[in-house]
């Protein structure tokens, strides 16, 4: 049922004059994503006018007009077929909910002189995701609206015990940074308590680098790697963790393979398996036999090794191979890269945040820490996977905005994680 409609007509000459008078007009009215789209269209006045008219039309549908909500509370996007899609902030969504508007259809027409936007609000229940055709006809995108709907405000009477215990089994001599980044990302994304289980030889490094992490040094070999003597010691500690992040920087050999296999077999809660944790798996049956959820976060090279195919095969058939590993091994798969692909077995979701500057050492460790933290805080593994890649990418976008894509590091991503989460909730 139609719950409201709005039409707006704007002169393209009026928009052109407004831009020429003050270029800040564009930044005041349009969001970063919209401006990026304008750039792709060579700042077409017709396109800009169409978006301007759309925001006016949508505000009329909501019954509030521009004033009670701001220009940036409405974002217009286009899928590959050119269909305009409407994204609302929480503030604008509240107005929509007050009129029982669940979905807004938008059409835009324009010529040299005028742009016309027609918005229709319906009470049809929408998907949590915005759909487009960039990848397939049915694969949804992870959006700001979806993540905001999940990332609820914390209760005032909360304490650290409410936000879970993350156990991180990571690191070796030369790769203490992997353990550090994973642990620190878990802390910065809200975990109540973070424990770092690591080889004894790098314990002092971790103690010096972070004051918030509880370290559990275990027996290692002469080179500072986990060994077979580490296994029993680690297994005595894992039951107190709500989730385990396993693998960053541990290296690969028989001892490490035995360690990963035993933890996968014996731990009864969710495991986030990353990096060398994935490379230590010779038989995916060990994943398939787990009753608790497992989230794996391979990049194309790690997935290629796991499935015994080439990297090019992975890149050319991302959907096929992520579906294959998720369904066969009963895991949640995050194939990292441009527009990271999250596969939960029956459905796949594409991330909408991130940039090439995030292709840097340690970036994946930060992602692993975020996802483990969200699981520990009580989010479902499927939501934690989707939310984690979005928050990680948004933190990367914030880092790139400050430092550019060439010089940003994984620490820059890490430092922006709290700000990304604050930005997601900025309208609450």
In a domain, 150, yes or no: no
Same-domain check for residues 167 and 100: no
Same-domain check for residues 251 and 399: yes
Same-domain check for residues 300 and 398: yes
pLDDT tens per residue, the chain (428 residues)? 678 888 889 999 999 999 888 768 898 999 988 998 888 888 899 999 999 999 999 999 999 999 899 999 999 988 766 788 898 888 888 888 898 888 888 989 877 788 888 888 887 654 433 333 333 334 578 888 789 889 988 999 999 999 999 999 999 999 999 999 999 999 999 999 999 999 999 999 999 999 999 999 999 999 999 999 999 999 999 999 999 999 999 999 999 999 999 999 999 999 999 999 999 999 999 999 999 999 999 999 999 999 999 999 999 999 899 999 999 999 999 999 988 999 987 788 988 888 899 999 999 999 999 999 999 999 999 999 999 999 999 999 899 989 999 999 999 999 999 999 998 886 44
**Rg (the chain; Cα; Å):** 24
Same-domain check for residues 252 and 378: yes
In a domain, 137, yes or no: no
| CATH number of the domain encompassing residue 231 | 3.40.1190.20
- Number of structural domains (the chain) is 2
In a domain, 135, yes or no: no
Q: Judge whether 288 counts as a catalytic residue.
A: no
In a domain, 6, yes or no: yes
Same-domain check for residues 200 and 339: yes
In a domain, 264, yes or no: yes
What residues make up the domain containing 99? 2-126
Helix, strand or coil, per DSSP, at residue 335: strand
Please give the model's pTM, rounded to 2 decimal places: 0.71
In a domain, 151, yes or no: no
Tell me how far apart the alpha carbons of residues 354 and 339 are, in angstroms, rounded to a whole number. Answer: 7
Domain boundary among 69, 103, 126: 126
In a domain, 139, yes or no: no
Same-domain check for residues 340 and 292: yes
CA-to-CA dists, residue 357 to 51, 97, 314, 342, 399, angstroms: 29, 38, 22, 20, 9
- Catalytically annotated residue among 110, 184, 299, 336: 110
Same-domain check for residues 324 and 193: yes
Same-domain check for residues 177 and 91: no
Tell me how far apart the alpha carbons of residues 410 and 399 are, in angstroms, rounded to a whole number. Answer: 9
CA-to-CA dists, residue 173 to 198, 273, 348, angstroms: 10, 20, 37
Q: Judge whether 110 counts as a catalytic residue.
A: yes
| CATH number of the domain encompassing residue 108 | 3.90.470.20
Same-domain check for residues 107 and 174: no
In a domain, 401, yes or no: yes
- Catalytically annotated residue among 60, 72, 188, 336: 60
């Amino acid at each position: 049922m139609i719950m409201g409609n709005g039409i707006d007509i704007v002169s393209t000459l009026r928009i052109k004059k407004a831009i020429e008078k003050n270029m800040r007009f564009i930044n005041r009215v349009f969001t970063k994503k919209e401006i990026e789209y304008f750039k792709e269209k060579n700042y077409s006045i017709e396109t800009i006018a169409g978006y301007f008219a759309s925001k006016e039309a949508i505000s009329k549908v909501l019954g509030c007009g521009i004033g009670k909500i701001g220009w940036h509370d409405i974002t217009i996007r286009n899928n590959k077929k050119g269909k305009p899609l409407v994204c609302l902030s929480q503030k604008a969504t509240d107005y929509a909910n007050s009129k029982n508007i669940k979905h807004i259809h938008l059409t835009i027409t324009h010529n040299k002189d005028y742009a016309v936007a027609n918005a229709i609000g319906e009470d049809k229940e929408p998907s949590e995701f915005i759909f487009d055709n960039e990848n397939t006809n049915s694969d949804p995108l992870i959006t700001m609206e979806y993540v905001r709907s999940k990332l609820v405000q914390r209760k005032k009477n909360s304490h650290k015990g409410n936000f879970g215990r993350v156990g991180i089994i990571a690191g070796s001599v030369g790769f203490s940074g992997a353990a550090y980044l994973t642990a620190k990302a878990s802390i910065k994304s809200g975990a109540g308590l973070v424990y770092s289980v690591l080889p004894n030889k790098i314990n002092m490094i971790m103690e010096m680098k972070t004051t918030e992490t509880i370290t559990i040094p275990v027996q290692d070999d002469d080179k500072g790697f986990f060994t077979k003597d580490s296994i029993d010691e680690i297994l005595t500690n894992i039951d107190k963790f709500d989730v385990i992040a396993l693998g960053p920087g541990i290296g690969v050999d028989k001892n490490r393979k035995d360690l990963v296999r035993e933890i996968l077999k014996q731990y009864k809660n969710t495991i986030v398996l990353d990096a060398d944790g994935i490379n230590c798996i010779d038989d995916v049956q060990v994943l398939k036999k787990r009753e608790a959820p497992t989230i794996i976060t391979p990049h194309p090279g790690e997935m290629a090794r796991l499935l015994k195919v080439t990297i090019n095969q992975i890149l050319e058939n991302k959907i096929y191979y992520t579906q294959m590993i998720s369904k066969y091994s009963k895991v949640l798969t995050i194939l990292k890269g441009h527009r990271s692909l999250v596969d939960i077995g029956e459905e796949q979701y594409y991330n909408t945040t991130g940039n090439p500057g995030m292709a840097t050492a340690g970036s994946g460790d930060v992602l692993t820490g975020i996802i483990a933290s969200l699981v520990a805080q009580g989010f479902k593994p499927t939501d934690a996977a989707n939310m984690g890649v979005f928050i990680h990418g948004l933190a990367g976008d914030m880092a790139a905005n400050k430092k550019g894509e060439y010089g940003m590091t994984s620490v820059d991503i890490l430092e922006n994680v709290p700000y990304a989460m604050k930005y997601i909730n900025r309208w609450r």
